[in-house]
């Protein structure tokens, strides 16, 4: 299980990565992240929405209201061009961090 500190840091990357595949509303977004990480990353409502609102203020994502077939109003989030721009360096930074940690653990086990 990944610790809470690392989870917080990866949360933005997770949201941006999943939204890169297409727009989603909050609940579906949380489910998709959970499924794609085999449950390692799990967003509760309390964790998800403050982060989505903050990312929206930063203009990385944009939320628009949509009405589903059953008449339920839901806010759908999509990646903005600024969000797409943010995603690439973020992915690179995290990949570098994990590679560095992998190397470090291999050295210390040797």
Query: Using CB under 8 A as the criterion, which residues of the chain lie in contact with other proteins when the complex forms?
Result: 25-27, 30, 44-46, 48-51, 53-54, 57-58, 65, 72-75
Q: What H or E segment, with its residue span, contains residue 68?
A: none
Residue 44 tokens, joined: 């509760």
Residue 71 tokens, joined: 């008449």
Residue 100 CB, nearest approach to other proteins (Å): 31
Query: Are residues 38 and 31 in contact, defined by beta-carbon separation less than 8 angstroms?
Result: no
Residue 16 CB, nearest approach to other proteins (Å): 16
Q: How many CB atoms lie within 10 A of CB 45?
A: 10
Q: Smaller CB distance to other proteins: residue 25 or 86? A: 25
Q: Smaller CB distance to other proteins: residue 63 or 91? A: 63
């Amino acid at each position: 299980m990944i610790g809470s500190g690392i989870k917080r840091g990866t949360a933005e990357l997770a949201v941006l990565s999943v939204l890169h595949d297409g727009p989603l509303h909050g609940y579906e977004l949380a489910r998709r992240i959970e499924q794609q990480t085999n449950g390692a990353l799990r967003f509760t409502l309390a964790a998800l929405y403050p982060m989505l609102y903050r990312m929206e203020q930063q203009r990385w994502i944009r939320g628009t209201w949509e009405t589903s077939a059953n008449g339920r109003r839901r806010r759908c989030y999509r990646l903005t061009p600024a969000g797409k721009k943010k995603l690439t360096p973020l992915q690179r930074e995290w990949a570098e961090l994990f590679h560095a940690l992998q190397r470090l653990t291999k050295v210390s086990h040797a």
